[in-house]
Chain A
Amino acid sequence: MIYIITTWFAPSSIHRSSLLIMQRILYMIEKEFKQLRRNKVLLRMMLAAPVMQLILLAYAANFEVKNLKIAIVDQDHTTYAQRLAGKFRYAERRQIGNFLFQGYLPNSKSAYEELLAGRADLVLIIPPHFERDLGKENQASVQLLVNAIDGTKGGIASGYAQTIIRDFNLAIRTENIDFDAGSLAGLNVTNQYWYNPRLEYKTFMVPGILFELMLLIGGMIAALNIVREKEIGTQEQLNVTPIKKHEFILGKLTPFVIIGLIQFTLGLVVGRFLFQIPIEGSLLLIYGFAFLFMLLSVGLGLLISAISDTQQQAMFVVFFCLVIFILLSGLFSSTQDMPQWAQYLNLLNPLKYIIEVGRNVLLKGSTLRDMQSQFFTLLGMAIALIGLASWRYRKTV
C-alpha cells in the first residue's frame, strides 16, 4: 500500500520539494513494515499477546471462591451434628459456596495438621454436647478454622460457611418452634448492579486489559525498536542523512500506532464476540481515545529510547514504568481507596485515565462530554511526551 502511495507521490516533480517530507516519512514507514514482516516470531507474538491475555483472563482471572476443601471434626455424633455436616457434604449442589467435602477428622489437632499440609481450606469443629446445648441452653456454638493466608479468600470462605450454618439454624428453628419470621424482617435492602448485572469479572477487566496491552506494545516495542537502531549503528547512518527530526519521529510513530490499533481491534472483537462485552458507547469515540492513547504510548517509548543507550536499559525502564502504571491503574483494585500519596502519583498515570474511559464508554455509554477531563489530560500527556521525546532526540551525539 505504501509502495503505491510513494510511487504516486514521487514522480510529480512540480511539488517535489513540498512532498519530500511526506516521501521520507513514507519510506521510513515502509521500511518499518518490511522489517516487521520479516520478523515472523515477533509478529506472531504481537498478535498472540492480546488474544492470549484476554483468554487467560476470561477463564483464569476470577476472584470467585469455589471448590473449597472442607473437613469436619464431629465430636458430638448426634443427629443435629450429622445433619449440619451433611449440609457441607452435599454443598456442591448448592449455588453458594461449592464446598468439596474431604472427610471427617478425629480432633482439632488433626484439623490444624490438615490446614498446615494444605489438604483443607477450612475445618468445621462441632464440639461435644452440641445438640444438648442447643436444646437445653437454647444456644450452642461451632468452631470454624479457616486458612486465611489469602485473607480475601479466607473471609469469603468463612462467609459462605456461615451462611450455610445460618440456613441450617433457620431450618431447625422452624421445625421446632412455630417461629414468626415476620417480627425480625421489616426492612428490605435490594441491590442492583448496573452495567454489569451478573457481576462478570470479564466485563470489568477486558476494557482495562485492552489499553494495558496498547501501552505495552506502544511503549516497549517502540522503545526497543529505536534503541536497537542505536545499538546496531543504523541510527548513526540515519543521523547523517538529511532526514528531519519530526520526519524521523513521525516515521517511527505511525507504524506503531497502526499496529496498536490493529491489536486493539483484535482485542475488541474477541471481547465482544467471545466474551460478550457490551459496547454501549460510540465506537468512533472509543477509537478516538485508542488513537490518542496509542500516540501517548509511543511517545513514552520514544522518550525512553532517547534516554537509553542499550535495549536492556530501555526494557527495564519501560518495565518499571509499566509495573507501576498497571498496579496503580485500577485494573486490579479501586483507585479511590488508595492512600493519598498513591492517588497523587496516579495523577500522572495515563493508564488510570484511559481505563476509566474504557469502562465508562464501553460499559456505560459515556459520551465525550462525560469524559472531557480524561480527554484533555490524555491529550496533554501525549503532547508533552512526544514534545519531550523530540526535544531529547538529537541527531548529534
Chain B
Amino acid sequence: MKRFLAFVKKEFFHILRDRRTLLILFGMPLAMVLLFGFALTNEIKNAKIAVLDLDHGPHSRQITDRLLSSGYFQLIQNLNASRDIEPAFRRGKVKLVVVFPPNFSQDFARNDTEAQVQLLADASEQNTAISLTNYATNIIQNYKSEQAPPGTVAPMQIDVQPRMVFNPELRGAFVFVPGVMAMVLLLVSALMTSVTIAREKEMGTMEVLMVSPLSQLQILFGKVLPYLLLSFINGCVIIALGVFLLGIPLNGSLLLLLAETLLFTFLSLSLGLLISTIADTQLVAMFASLLVLLMPTIFLSGFIFPIESMPRFLQFVSNIIPAKYFIEIVKGIMIKGIGLDLLWKPTLLLLGMSAFLMAVSLRNLKPRLNQ
C-alpha cells in the first residue's frame, strides 16, 4: 500500500509538472462556462434588417421607427425594388427584410381591406429567423392594436396565467451548467485516462511498469487516480461557478451532489479504461473518446437537443448515455432541490453502469497487458 501511494504521488506530480496541460485542464471548464453563460445568448439584439418601403406613407414609416426603436433591429439598408432583396441576403449581412407594399398606409387606415406586411427572413440561420419574425410580428401587431379604438374588449375571455416553475427568468444557465459539467468530467476522466494508458503502450513504458513489484491493478489505479481527483476538482469548480457566478440555486444537498459527481467521474474513468483496452496509440484513444463518448453525449444526453423530439430509435439509444442520467440528477439536486427519494433510479443506473464497465475493462485489460 505504501508503495502504491508513492506511485500515485509520482504520477500526480508528473501531471502537476506539466503546467500547460494543467492550465488547459482548468481553463477549459472556465472558458466553457463563461462562453455558455455570457456569449451564447439567444436574445436578439441589433439584428441587421433592410426595409423595402413601396408605400412611403405615414404608417409604414411609423412601423419602421417602432421596429428600430425596439432595440432588436438595426437598419442597414433601404431597398428600392424587390430585385434588391436577393443580393442583400446573399451578401450575408441582412437577416430580415420588411416589405411594405404600395398603398399600405391607405389599406391600414381602412376597415374593409386587410393591410399586408411581408417579413422575409434569411432562414439559413433558422433559429434567428424564427425569433426575428416573431419579434417583428409582435411589434407590428401591437402598433395595430394601439391604433384600434379604445374600449373594445373581447367577450368570454380565458386568461392564461403561465407560471415558469423552477426557472422563472428562463435562464439558459440552468440547462447548460449541468451539461457542461457532464461534458468536462467525461472529457477529463475518460479522455485523459485512455490517452495516458495508450501513451504508456506507445512509448513502450508499460512493460517497464509491469515488471515493477506493483500489481497490474495497482498500476492502473495509480495512473487513473490523479485524474479522478482532478476531474472531481473540476466538477466542484463548475458547481461553484454556476452557483456564484451564474446564480444557479443549490436547493438540494451539497453532499449528495458531490457524491453523485464522484460517481459520474468514476464511471467516466471506467469508460476511459475500456477505451484504452482497444486503443494502442494516443491518437486512436483520443479519436475513440471523441467519437464514442463526446459526440453522443453532446447530441443524445438532452444537453442541447430535447430527447423527446428524437425518433424512437435514438430515444432508446439515449437511455445508455450515462450523461443523460447525470444531468437529470444535477438538475434535480441543484434546481428542484430533490433528494435520493426521487433520484434513486438514475443513481442506481449510474452505479450499475460503472460496475459493469469496470468489470468489462478489467477483464479486457489483463490479457492484453500480459502479451
Contact = CB atoms under 8 A, between A and B. Distances in A.
Contacts of B305: 60-63
Interface stretch (A183-191, A235-243, A263-271): A183-191
B300 interface: yes
B283 A221 contact: yes
A201 B126 contact: yes
Given A339-B39, A360-B92, A370-B91, A41 B119 contact: no
A11 interface: no
B124 interface: yes
Contacts of A23: none
Given A149-B174, A316-B25, A364 B89 contact: yes
A29 interface: no
Contacts of B125: 204, 330, 334, 359
Contact of A64 (B108, B136, B161, B309): B309
A187 B108 contact: yes
B75 interface: no
A360 B306 contact: no
B124 A204 contact: yes
Nearest to B104: A187
Nearest to A311: B282
Contacts of A118: 328, 332
B306 A65 contact: yes
A332 B36 CA distance: 11
Interface in B1-56: 18, 20-21, 24-25, 27-28, 31-32, 35-36, 38-48
Given A186-B115, A203-B124, A311-B195, A168 B158 contact: yes
B347 interface: no
B335 A342 contact: no
Size category of the binding interface on chain B: 35 or more
A199 B203 contact: no
Interface stretch (A47-55, A289-297, A376-384): A47-55
A220 B44 CA distance: 34
A151 B170 CA distance: 4
B168 interface: yes
B158 A191 contact: no
Interface string A169-207: 100110011010011111111111111110111011000
Contacts of A52: 291, 295
A285 interface: no
A367 B89 CA distance: 12
Contacts of A339: 38-39, 41
Nearest to B164: A148
Interface in A338-391: 338-339, 342, 356, 359-360, 363-367, 370-371
Interface in B221-239: none
B299 A57 contact: yes
A204 B41 contact: no
A194 B94 CA distance: 12
Contacts of B91: 366, 370
Contacts of B286: 220, 224, 315
Contacts of A342: 35, 38-39
Given A162-B160, A333-B127, A59 B203 contact: no
B370 interface: no
B116 A142 contact: no
A365 B92 CA distance: 11
A121 to B, nearest CB: 8
Contact of B137 (A57, A141, A189, A204): A189
Nearest to B192: A312
A139 B157 contact: yes
Given A64-B309, A190-B116, A138 B92 contact: no
B103 to A, nearest CB: 14
B163 interface: yes
A365 B122 CA distance: 13
Contact of A315 (B92, B144, B152, B195): B195
Contacts of B211: none
A320 B27 contact: yes
Interface in A201-247: 201, 203-204, 216, 220-221, 224-225, 228, 231-232
B166 A149 contact: yes
Given A64-B309, A152-B172, A146 B155 contact: no
Interface centre among A182, A200, A311, A359 (most CB of B within 10 A): A311
A145 B165 contact: yes
Contacts of A327: 32, 35-36, 39-40
A332 B40 contact: yes
A317 B335 contact: no
Given A60-B299, A150-B175, A193-B123, A184 B154 contact: yes
Contacts of A179: 155
Nearest to B152: A183
B90 A366 contact: yes
B306 A144 contact: no
B89 A194 contact: yes
6 contacts: A66-B308, A144-B163, A149-B331, A191-B133, A228-B202, A320-B27
Q: Which 6 A-B pairs have the closest CB atoms?
A: A151-B170, A148-B164, A193-B123, A196-B123, A342-B39, A141-B159
Interface of A: 39, 41-42, 45-46, 48-49, 52-53, 56-57, 59-69, 112, 115-118, 134-135, 138-155, 158, 161-162, 165-166, 168-169, 172-173, 176-177, 179, 182-197, 199-201, 203-204, 216, 220-221, 224-225, 228, 231-232, 308, 310-313, 315-317, 319-320, 323-324, 327-328, 330, 332-334, 336-339, 342, 356, 359-360, 363-367, 370-371
